[in-house]
Amino acid sequence: MMAISASLVKELRERTGLGMMECKKALVEANGDIEAAIDNLRKASGLKAAKKAGRTAAEGIIVTRTAEDNSVVMLLEINSETDFVARDENFLGFANTIADAAFAAKETDVAKLMAGELENVREALVQKIGENISVRRISFVGGEGKTVEAYVHGGRIAAAVELQGGTPELAKDIAMHVTASNPQFVKPSEISEDVLEREKEVVRAQSEGSGKPAEIIEKMMIGRIKKFEAEISLTEQPFIKDPDVKVGVLAKNAGADVVGFTRFEVGEGIEKEEVDFAAEVAAAAKGN
């Protein structure tokens, strides 16, 4: 039997809400592949969905910059170890300095951006506040002839939306929607085949146990996949400010087309060690 770590079982429990033994068994059967285990659990138990991978644990801030003509917008993520430092004036000043430099240079390569004086500034800040600070990622959205704008929620979640036509205000409204709904694709036609095939396998496995005729199952599958496509596509989602209108229709009514979007969430995909401070203190006390 393959050894399955307690942390992997814990992650699967958090993502599925299922029991520890059921999660451990699923991981053993999937040889430790958590995504395969989730698929198998969904097929066997009718589990509708699982939370996304990537425990958001790192702290920090997301900063944006937008060109005066609203043709280009930049998203920048800078991480700190604690939320306390992420609100510190020195940290925020550093974040704005990096954002200005990155936007002026139109640079997305963090290593290139931080070579030289900016790295010295970062190291000085680390020495001053006593925490590690890292410039994580930079992304530019838009281009000549495009309309863009960004929306930042609490400094922790941000999205930039690119339109063909329309206004910056419309782009910002749709960016706000993206921060809240976290779509995976712009339009259903852009959904990758492997994503669709994976969902079809799950739906097929769930439907085959229903006892319904094959032709009914096929119709059920078509309906379920259409619903799935709409749920993960920005243009097919009900607009957060007016659920009676889909985002794509909202844009079309304003003479625009949604071309693309980028969404950042502080710390997504970064695993940070969870420290049990009570246990740490107890262990230290025993050692004295």
Q: Say what percent of the chain tops pLDDT 90.
A: 56
Whether 1-55 and 59-186+255-265 share one fold: the answer is: no
Of residues 56 and 120, more confidence is placed in 120
DSSP-derived 3-state class of residue 231: helix
1-55 architecture in CATH? Orthogonal Bundle (1.10)
> What is the token pair recorded at 96?
């704005």
Q: Is the dihedral of CA 109, 98, 146, 190 positive or negative?
A: positive
Of residues 148 and 200, more confidence is placed in 148
How does pLDDT run across 73-119, given as a tens digit for each residue? 999 999 998 888 899 999 999 999 999 999 999 999 999 999 889 98
Q: What's the pLDDT score for residue 60?
A: 94
Find the mean pLDDT for residues 251-267.
96
Confidence of residue 56 (pLDDT cuts 50, 70, 90): very low
Q: What's the pLDDT score for residue 50?
A: 61
How does pLDDT run across 171-181, given as a tens digit for each residue? 999 999 999 99
Q: What's the pLDDT score for residue 280?
A: 55
Domain ranges of the chain: 1-55, 59-186+255-265
DSSP-derived 3-state class of residue 168: helix
Q: Are 34 and 63 in contact (CB under 8 A)?
A: no
Q: What's the pLDDT score for residue 8?
A: 87
Q: What's the pLDDT score for residue 54?
A: 38
Residue 275 has pLDDT above 80, yes or no: no
- How far apart (Å, rounded) are the C-alpha atoms in residues 248 and 117? 45
Q: What's the pLDDT score for residue 281?
A: 56
Q: Say what percent of the chain tops pLDDT 70.
A: 88
Q: What is the mean pLDDT of the chain?
A: 87
CATH superfamily to which 59-186+255-265 belongs = Elongation factor Ts, dimerisation domain (3.30.479.20)
Q: What's the pLDDT score for residue 78?
A: 95
pTM of the model: 0.73
Burial 127-157 (b: 16+ CB within 10 A, else e): eebebebbbbebebbbeeebbbbbbbeeebb
- How far apart (Å, rounded) are the C-alpha atoms in residues 231 and 186? 11
Q: What's the pLDDT score for residue 22?
A: 83
- How far apart (Å, rounded) are the C-alpha atoms in residues 211 and 196? 24
Q: What's the pLDDT score for residue 168?
A: 98
